[in-house]
Amino acid sequence: MAVIAVLITGSAAAGAQAPASDAYPLRPVRFIAPFAPGGSTDTVARILAQRLGEGFGQNVIVDNRPGAGGTLGADMVVRAAPDGYTLLVGDFGPNAVAHALFAKLPYDPVKSFTHVSLAVTFPLVLVVPASTPIGALKDYIEQARQRPGMIRYGSAGVGTSPHIFMELLHSIAKVQTVHVPYKGGAPALSGLLAAEVDSALIAVSTALAQIGTGRVRALAVTSAAASPRLPNVPPVSSVVPGYEGLNFHGLHAPAGTPRAVVNRIAAEVAKAVARPDTRERLDALAMDVAGTRPEEFDAFIRRQVERWGTFARAAGVRAE
């Protein structure tokens, strides 16, 4: 993607000019990752930070700011200067469904951001301890029906994709389990290993190592088809027809960020995810790369907000 050098006039109050897009960035860029270290958001943030740092010739710093289902970190970015130096590593929760869950969300998931580029999409996986007698998704659902409100599941937080995707399972399969929110997928997995919960719905990338060691058992993935990284693990839809849910990560800037700067960042994301070494690394994490243009990502976010907001309201899911 060609980058056109243009001078962008700064605010009258500042009385200065922002750098031309070919000069950006002139100092380190900060990625706000709105979940705890170790989960999928943090993993993708660090991969993109390394690659974009190489492309920019500047450091890209990952700043983990977990809390409130990712909305605390998202709000930090909304309030930042719209100059391209503070970016959100977005996620399903704060960027697709939070508006339908929080009565006083301090930002609009569509209008408060300039949506820069969709980086990856990926499924979640439902896991249980290897010691449990539950061997398959049908057993899990049957246990949930026999013991309504007794099975606990850990998630990355209220309003995150694990929370909403489990609510979708509840809605279609007509079962009920107990939600135990953590501050990220990695803490939820730790909670499962510590027997604080009976199951966890987390990103495949977060669960792969523990699945590989045999400490946890994978019951099903949330994608429409089995994941190539877990070929023997069926999709939820094999037992619950019509079920599908995919999480995503991409970069979002504050609304009003100069278009030339946004285009520069999007071009670097596209180059980063197109690199064979990056694609191989993301593929190993069961992530499908995208690298979209800003207008494509904006349309994607609008579709996600409509679909999942409608579901959350219909299901009566609230964060407060």
Report the alpha-carbon distance of residue 179 to residue 59 in Å, rounded.
38
Q: Is pLDDT at 3 greater than 60 in this prediction?
A: no
Task: Please give the distance of CA 273 from its chain centroid, rounded to a whole number.
Answer: 16
Give the mean pLDDT of the chain: 92
**Do 117 and 274 meet the contact criterion of CB atoms below 8 Å apart?**
no
Report the alpha-carbon distance of residue 3 to residue 180 in Å, rounded.
46
In this prediction, residue 21 carries a pLDDT of: 58
3-class DSSP assignment, residue 55: helix
In this prediction, residue 319 carries a pLDDT of: 80
Q: Is pLDDT at 101 greater than 90 in this prediction?
A: yes
In this prediction, residue 20 carries a pLDDT of: 54
The pLDDT-based confidence of 303 (bands split at 50, 70, 90) is: very high
Q: Among 92, 86, 48, 39, which Cα is nearest to 69's? A: 92
Find the DSSP H helices in the chain: 40-56, 71-78, 92, 98-101, 137-146, 161-173, 185-193, 204-213, 259-274, 276-284, 294-315
Positive or negative, the CA dihedral 64, 67, 69, 73 is: negative
Report the alpha-carbon distance of residue 136 to residue 134 in Å, rounded.
6
Sketch out the chain's domains with CATH numbers.
21-122+246-315 (3.40.190.150), 124-238 (3.40.190.10)
**Do 288 and 120 meet the contact criterion of CB atoms below 8 Å apart?**
yes
The pLDDT-based confidence of 23 (bands split at 50, 70, 90) is: confident
Instruction: Please report which helix (H) or strand (E) contains residue 114, including its range.
Output: strand 113-122
Question: What would the pLDDT profile of 171-198 be if each residue is shown by its tens digit?
Answer: 999 999 999 999 899 999 999 999 999 9
Question: DSSP letter string over 259-296?
Answer: HHHHHHHHHHHHHHHHSHHHHHHHHHTT-EE----HHH
Q: Is pLDDT at 11 greater than 70 in this prediction?
A: no
Question: What would the pLDDT profile of 120-154 be if each residue is shown by its tens digit?
Answer: 999 999 999 999 999 999 999 999 999 999 999 99
Report the alpha-carbon distance of residue 128 to residue 135 in Å, rounded.
9
CA angle 61, 62, 63 (to 5 degrees): 110
**Do 87 and 29 meet the contact criterion of CB atoms below 8 Å apart?**
yes
Using CA atoms of 225, 230, 236, 242 in order, give the dihedral in degrees to the nearest 10. -10
3-class DSSP assignment, residue 250: strand
